[in-house]
Structure 1
């Protein structure tokens, strides 16, 4: 007997499946671009530090101006903001601030003007990162979790793309090179308005007109604004806002669970990158594969940074690649491993883990340790924000959807200052660390750090 075949039903199923794939692709590409573009200017500025300030100016001032404004945003904005987040306005503002900041850096040669431009771009980057992570909470938990994974993957790619871009653009000079990079922020509003599916699209995927390209929050905002005058004449408008007590109640359980592990990972990670890695120097190899890469002792530090950025990218992409997430109780593990790596690399720099006649072994060992460092840093970032995105709402607020929405946005937005404050602390610790390690090398007759 020939089985019954419902052609219309099968065609509908195929159309629904194709629609789901298109939605997932648009969602993933949107959040990947958000992470990539939001962070790539930060990397370009750090990569261009030598070209942006006079030789007599400490390069650490670039790192400070590149992180301090972002830290201020992440520390203050979630706690002082009240009411609904206007995502469209924020993203347009981030684009404008980044564009203006990079133009100031590009076309003003005075040190203070360039530092001001870097501060504007940093402020925009900090606000952007917080905004896009909060945007992920406007979706269902399964979709929001994927959004966090794609965003984290984009931020990881920013390290590799930013360093490569400046390597290619630096030959054009600061004005042209930085000026060209100033157009990148315009990708953010374009992706937001014309690529990103709205949250409702993932609920009503079977409808042929299930979504528009403008996220739902903005459509709701337009409707609310249009009805404000009418409503105000009928009855007072009720606005839901989290109080300071509400926010402290939400923050308290996250201090040890999420913030401390993220703070420790970033403090250790950037202390290694800024304070220890510059002293991990060896004689220039004369044979083997490494001799094709290293042509002078100045090549070691860029190599370590490339290894670090590459492994961070892959580990931050773990969720978007379909790998399992870390359970909440294992979130401190990357920080513990980072601490062990820091000790090993400090020991290698100051004393040497292997005899000096085995330099190839030392180089390979450092390569492995920095790779693990990058993996730990990337896993800590993506898993902390993923876990926060997936948390269930407070039972006391489940009766009010607006309160639930604002609590989710606040929680994921309030975490960001932990990594930024860790980077800032590391920039302070890195200077004496590098000086002491170089002094220890000179004491044992290794003078490579003095020749940089």
Structure 2
């Protein structure tokens, strides 16, 4: 086709191959132009008796290289998911310390049975942990709303994410006032929001399975973040020291993005697509997202706004799941405890283990999309709201008599939340038009933040109302 000529003319090696092929066919045989073209095609594909073996070996090497690159990218996106959400999880785990002890050098000592200086029969904190939830999510929501509409180089965005993550740990770990610590929480939220919308959008340039490993990594952030904070403080480190020790996490994120991740070569990919160099079907499937994305220009602001209504079927169900989920986590979970039969865990410790069980459930479900896919996200919304009703009645009436049953219910809650998240983005990777996929990934990532923000505003007054009720 005529449109191929500029590309071939600009490629020295291709021009030489073409002239050589045509020249040989003209001198040594009487061939038609079509036969000459076929001869060129055969040579460019490694056809011909003597070159066939060498070309086959080169193809095998290319396949092996692409396979290695794919696994590197899958691993990189797992670590990026882990490190992106790590600070967010740690801040929620440290919410009790930030609100009640202000991270003084002795804020790790003697919580007692959770009843110190508290005459309320329900053993309520003065302020709900929903307050920290709002500080940990509103900046993230704002970033997720505005970031997809502004074009900033991905490397610059990731640099900001690393800086914000480092600042969050420094501000909280070195806090001399509650407001300074809360500002550190805000930095963690902004970094997590920018990282999620940036890296999910950037995932459109890679094999679609990176969405699964990203989701698994974010689930791992929940487990490792909750366990590391609880474990290190239980081992004797102060919350200050524990938070400062986690400065290694932003460094790991930088290494994952700039060292481990194999960034696409846009120019080589474009030329390979235009030449049509005879790739196999399997290679085309692995590269289809990358190759096609390179051929389409960025969407205008008007085009982006016109796409949003078609994405509501993904955004609304996952947002509803997160509303119910975080009302449970930050409004009700701290009100469900067992003061008598479970003396081996005090109130504060029970809450920490609740968080761990929730995060384990999230990790399991976010890692499951390659095993099975759930297309009806709305069903998980219904189930999560049934969970909310269950936990609400338990927080008011204390009708569940075993902490093990509560652990199981919290694990189930985490399963639903993680499954809603990963299946939503997996569906987008499969169903959304390639022209809109990058924007769709970015804008849909704000759905969970919108749900969590609404949950925070619900959790605070709900906590206060329940705490005033008689036992």
Answer whether TM exceeds 0.5 for this pair: yes
Contact 1:350 1:437 in 2 (8 A): yes
User: Which residue, 148, 157, 164 being the options, matches 1:78?
Assistant: 148
**1:383 alignment counterpart:** 423
Greater mean alpha carbon deviation, residues 7-16 or residues 64-73? 7-16
Task: From the superposition, tell whether residues 285 and 66 of structure 1 become closer, same or farther in structure 2 (CA, over 3 Å).
Answer: same
**1:332 alignment counterpart:** 378
Contact 2:79 2:256 in 1 (8 A): yes
The answer for unaligned runs of 5 or more in structure 2 is 1-51, 103-125, 284-289
Structure 1 residues 113-167: Cα deviation after superposition (integer angstroms, max 9, x where no partner): 222222222211110011110111112xxx12x1110000000010111112222
User: Which residue, 314, 329, 351 being the options, matches 1:258?
Assistant: 314
**2:221 alignment counterpart:** 158
Asked if residue 26 in structure 1 is aligned to residue 66 in structure 2, the reply is no
**2:45 alignment counterpart:** none
Task: From the superposition, tell whether residues 115 and 344 of structure 1 become closer, same or farther in structure 2 (CA, over 3 Å).
Answer: closer
Structure 1 residues 247-289: Cα deviation after superposition (integer angstroms, max 9, x where no partner): 121001112x011101100000001111222222234337xxx
Asked if residue 136 in structure 1 is aligned to residue 200 in structure 2, the reply is no
CA shift, 1:436, in A, is: 3.6
User: Which residue, 167, 182, 185 being the options, matches 1:100?
Assistant: 167
Contact 2:131 2:460 in 1 (8 A): no
Structure 1 residues 315-354: Cα deviation after superposition (integer angstroms, max 9, x where no partner): 01112xx312122xx0111111001111122223333556
The answer for unaligned runs of 5 or more in structure 1 is 1-5, 211-216, 222-238, 395-403, 447-452
Please identify the structure whose Cα radius of gyration is greater: 2
Task: From the superposition, tell whether residues 371 and 165 of structure 1 become closer, same or farther in structure 2 (CA, over 3 Å).
Answer: closer
Task: From the superposition, tell whether residues 175 and 335 of structure 1 become closer, same or farther in structure 2 (CA, over 3 Å).
Answer: same
1:69 alignment partner, SS class: helix
Matches of 1:53 and 1:276, distance apart in 2: 17
Task: From the superposition, tell whether residues 123 and 298 of structure 1 become closer, same or farther in structure 2 (CA, over 3 Å).
Answer: closer
User: Which residue, 239, 263, 271 being the options, matches 1:198?
Assistant: 263
Matches of 2:135 and 2:461, distance apart in 1: 19
Task: From the superposition, tell whether residues 46 and 90 of structure 1 become closer, same or farther in structure 2 (CA, over 3 Å).
Answer: same
CA shift, 1:88, in A, is: 1.2
CA shift, 1:62, in A, is: 2.5
Task: From the superposition, tell whether residues 25 and 270 of structure 1 become closer, same or farther in structure 2 (CA, over 3 Å).
Answer: same
Contact 2:88 2:136 in 1 (8 A): yes
Greater mean alpha carbon deviation, residues 94-103 or residues 12-21? 12-21
Greater mean alpha carbon deviation, residues 240-249 or residues 13-22? 13-22
Structure 1 residues 11-64: Cα deviation after superposition (integer angstroms, max 9, x where no partner): 778756654542232112100000000111111122222333454984443322
Matches of 1:165 and 1:92, distance apart in 2: 25
Contact 2:98 2:181 in 1 (8 A): yes
**1:64 alignment counterpart:** 134
Asked if residue 430 in structure 1 is aligned to residue 433 in structure 2, the reply is no
Task: From the superposition, tell whether residues 258 and 365 of structure 1 become closer, same or farther in structure 2 (CA, over 3 Å).
Answer: same
Contact 1:49 1:62 in 2 (8 A): yes
Asked if residue 416 in structure 1 is aligned to residue 441 in structure 2, the reply is no
Matches of 1:131 and 1:389, distance apart in 2: 15
Report the count of equivalent residues.
376
Matches of 2:395 and 2:185, distance apart in 1: 32
User: Which residue, 72, 92, 103 being the options, matches 1:46?
Assistant: 92
Counterpart mapping for 1:93-242 below 5 A: 93-139=160-206, 143-144=207-208, 146-170=209-233, 171-199=236-264, 241-242=298-299
Contact 2:172 2:180 in 1 (8 A): yes
**1:351 alignment counterpart:** 397
Task: From the superposition, tell whether residues 409 and 13 of structure 1 become closer, same or farther in structure 2 (CA, over 3 Å).
Answer: closer
Matches of 2:225 and 2:89, distance apart in 1: 5
CA shift, 1:74, in A, is: 0.7
2:205 alignment partner, SS class: coil
**1:244 alignment counterpart:** 301
